[in-house]
Amino acid sequence: MATTALTASKTPGIIVAEIRMMSATFSGVHFLVEGDDDSKFWKPRVSSASVTIVSCEGKPNLLGASALIQRLGISSVAGVYDPDFERLFGVSHHPNILAPTDHNDLELTLIASDALSSLLHEFGDPGQIADFESNQGKSVADHLEATSRQFGQLRYLNEILRHQVDFDRLSPYRFVSADTWTLDRPALISEYAILSGLAVPDVETLIQTHCPQAPTWCLSQGHDTVRVLAQGLRRRIGRKQMSEQDVARVLRIAFSLELLQRSGMYRSLRTLESRLPAPLFS
């Protein structure tokens, strides 16, 4: 199985051209994913004999290519996309060929599974975890969700109100202490206010009036959550200097075949598989 990346800057048209060109010598399934991390996750899980992964370099490209593929009647394509906050609005995309991840994105889907427990067992410190959970009165998973939700609420505001805030300036590494694994929320809100040109009270009001009381993980984002977790593992719940990439890699490995088969995205892909020219899974 190959992972196609023929150009450094793809468009939907280029992606479809890739697929058509490969179809001349390949009769299997072209499996669309958003980016390299998604490709790394799916490569060992789909059939190496009958599937080639097409990295689309972003969700807009993947959705644009999917629309074009359906208009052209190309039948050898399936894929997975991150629903992000769209699930809160009941929005889905091209269900005839695409499956959404179970949570807002792939990283969050992995964290919300038992893969998190496996990672903590291997890289966390049991004594520190027990002490933290006793002091906080909640589990590591619940604290991780609650902290990442604070960043997610601001991402949600930024998306629906078009504040055009650069979230590289709001990295959890800046606002979550490695020593205590707690969030400096006033500093986070203040920085968002500066970047959006708003006053702090106005940001707080917008959070109250615009952010829904969504279920667990529904207002979180994967990259934020992975960074929060990496920060905790450095001192408060472990002694591991793990980067965001390290944590993401371990989560991918820890997400077992059993966990995959229990997921909604797997069931959706199995349903799509019936109309494909070759099996998605071995």
Q: How far is CA 70 from CA 66, 101, 145, 147, 252, in A?
A: 6, 21, 37, 40, 30
Inter-residue contact 53 to 46 (CB < 8 Å): yes
Do both 82 and 153 map to the same domain? Answer: no
Judged on CB neighbours under 10 Å (0-12, 13-18, 19+), 98 is buried
pLDDT at 1: 47
Distance CA 4, CA 7 (A): 9
pLDDT at 3: 44
The structure tokens 């291997």 sit at 122
Q: How far is CA 34 from CA 30, 68, 76, 273, in A?
A: 13, 16, 18, 19
Neighbouring CB atoms inside 10 A of 18's CB total 20
Domain for residue 282, yes or no? no
pLDDT at 205: 98
What's the token pair of residue 185?
Answer: 């929320």
Do both 202 and 184 map to the same domain? Answer: yes
Domain for residue 109, yes or no? no
What's the token pair of residue 161?
Answer: 């109100």
Distance CA 155, CA 194 (A): 15
pTM of the model: 0.93
| Structural domain harbouring 67 | 3-103+263-273
pLDDT at 9: 85
Do both 125 and 185 map to the same domain? Answer: yes
Domain for residue 19, yes or no? yes
Do both 30 and 84 map to the same domain? Answer: yes
Do both 97 and 48 map to the same domain? Answer: yes
Sign of CA dihedral 39, 88, 158, 188: negative
Domain count, the chain: 2
Do both 228 and 136 map to the same domain? Answer: yes
Q: Which amino acid is at 113?
A: S
What residues contact residue 92 under an 8 Å CB cut-off, 6+ apart?
83, 86, 100
The structure tokens 């593992």 sit at 233
pLDDT per residue as tens, the chain (282 positions): 444 444 458 999 999 999 999 999 999 999 999 999 999 999 999 999 999 999 999 999 999 999 999 999 999 999 999 999 999 999 999 999 999 999 999 999 999 999 999 999 999 999 999 999 999 999 999 999 999 999 999 999 999 999 999 999 999 999 999 999 999 999 999 999 999 999 999 999 999 999 999 999 999 999 999 999 999 999 999 999 999 999 999 999 999 999 999 999 999 999 999 999 999 998
